[in-house]
A and B are shown apart, each in its own frame.
Chain A
């Protein structure tokens, strides 16, 4: 297995006249947690959208498991092993917690139209297997007792965890979390950190965007810093904290973040 799971090479993306992402390139090593930080509007979410296929780059390459995935549709990228959560929660709010997690299983299931209409034995077997699998993921994030609840009845922090369970159900090699601690209180953030370490133990590589600096420095093995669509620094949390450019551009200016 290659140590490099994902890499970006000279990726550009403009929206109208705005250069959202310029010449971005970095590597994500297997079984690590990589944080992407930067001020608002730096292009962090755009980078995530480029990786997951929600938008296509103007130029440049995204390589996953040694193969280019640039320009593929989101659903085939999920199938290749990249799952994501959203900055603003995007659960299927009217559906149950279990149904939400089953959406993650979709890409690993096979039953088609005919098998479903006729409810063939193979289809029923598969359903049973993946309902169990979905329940396991719910247990992993600690929501198994709420499997029958509608997703929108959950507390905010639980909804974030449900989104993670849903993404994990697709059996990803790379999990992309867009501001997972956003809107969480201190207690919930600590539990989230524990959850991410547990995910890492399952040999799933994690990429995350986060504004909570102590959280990022705590859970990440590597940090990529962006500003104005450019990568301005990359390194271990220790290196980033000492980096003069980063302190000027981001940490020094915005002292609300506490570093």
Chain B
């Protein structure tokens, strides 16, 4: 136990160095004068956006173990909330982000109420229904707000303290900052009373309930939180693309996100990040395969299920630090009389 701090520091330094190197990528591209730099940055931005989405889905699917395949619906609600508030009411993009969070969360709360008790494949089917209904509603210009199949055009760029984010490298820092926020937030959540409750639910709902976890409430909150955060990702997406249409929020998007989480390792955030790079990044690098992407997905999933059903990085045991008193007690060997409960 006493060597915990010494082991922790190099890993922190390593993570910091890796993060710094990653954040230097735009500068590096500029320095070497890479002509395709903006293209690669754009790809990294897409990966980043999917990482935020997948991390938010991970709370629902990975931690709480709920088979939710309709995440694109909440992504869409966030994007459309931002677009409508910006275009029709002149809100700045940053101001629309909390609104996107709330709108997606509210829809999730309304929808989840009646379906939250469904298990496994039953929930899966209902959530597929949600994403399809959302897409069709958007296509039909619901409330006369969504612009029908053509979607909404001319969404503003976000401005930070008067600085307008317009180039890929601007979005690179914005999006990956949000990835960092998402990661830390959900990391804290995972290692808390709340996160543990979700793990208990995933492992054995009956036992979790019998240990005092209000399983219905926790599932509902996890679902709403994950959905609301997908709404934030939607807000970023809308301002990055400037144009959104129902085509961007299909069932296929939901499947993609589902695949990222399962492939990466449901419940493990590092695995989910790696999954985003693999599922979104690799097909771009191997462009020749792109039209066979679904085939590759299928094959990858089948192989994963056979050889690594837990995902690339399965969840690791929780790292818990004992109090000094307990650490010292356990290091000392002569406590046999205690362990014998006579």
Contact B207 A86 (CB under 8 A): yes
Contact A118 B213 (CB under 8 A): no
Enumerate chain A residues within 8 angstroms of B225, measured Cβ to Cβ: 113
A43 to B326, CA, bound (A): 43
Binding-face segment, A17-25, A62-70, A92-100, A207-215: A92-100
Enumerate chain B residues within 8 angstroms of A113, measured Cβ to Cβ: 189, 194, 221, 225
Contact B200 A145 (CB under 8 A): no
Enumerate chain B residues within 8 angstroms of A202, measured Cβ to Cβ: none
For chain B, what secondary structure do more than half of its interface residues adopt (helix, strand, loop), or is it mixed? helix
Given known A-B contacts A103-B211, A103-B213, A112-B194, A95 and B199 have beta carbons under 8 A apart:
yes
Instruction: Name the residue on B nearest A98 (C-beta).
Output: B320
Which residues of A in the span 111-160 have a Cβ within 8 Å of any Cβ on B?
Answer: 111-113, 115-119, 123, 126-128, 131-132, 135, 139-145, 147-148, 150
Contact A111 B193 (CB under 8 A): yes
Contact B192 A170 (CB under 8 A): no
Would you give the shortest CB distance from B319 to chain A, in whole angstroms?
A: 10
Q: Does B250 sit at the interface, judged by CB under 8 A?
A: no
A107 to B225, CA, bound (A): 22
Q: Does A90 sit at the interface, judged by CB under 8 A?
A: yes
Contact residue among B193, B203, B325, B340 (Cβ-Cβ distance under 8 Å from A92): B203
Q: Does B13 sit at the interface, judged by CB under 8 A?
A: no
Would you give the shortest CB distance from A22 to chain B, in whole angstroms?
A: 25
Enumerate chain A residues within 8 angstroms of B340, measured Cβ to Cβ: 142
Enumerate chain B residues within 8 angstroms of A84, measured Cβ to Cβ: 210
Residues of A within 8 A of B (CB): 52, 54, 73-76, 78-79, 83-84, 86, 90-96, 98-99, 102-104, 106-107, 109, 111-113, 115-119, 123, 126-128, 131-132, 135, 139-145, 147-148, 150, 166-167, 170, 191, 194-195, 198
Residues of B within 8 A of A (CB): 185-186, 188-189, 192-197, 199-200, 203-204, 206-215, 221, 225, 315, 317-318, 320-323, 325-326, 329-330, 338-342
Other A-B pairs beyond A103-B207, A106-B211, A113-B194, 4, CB < 8 Å = A103-B196, A103-B197, A140-B341, A194-B342
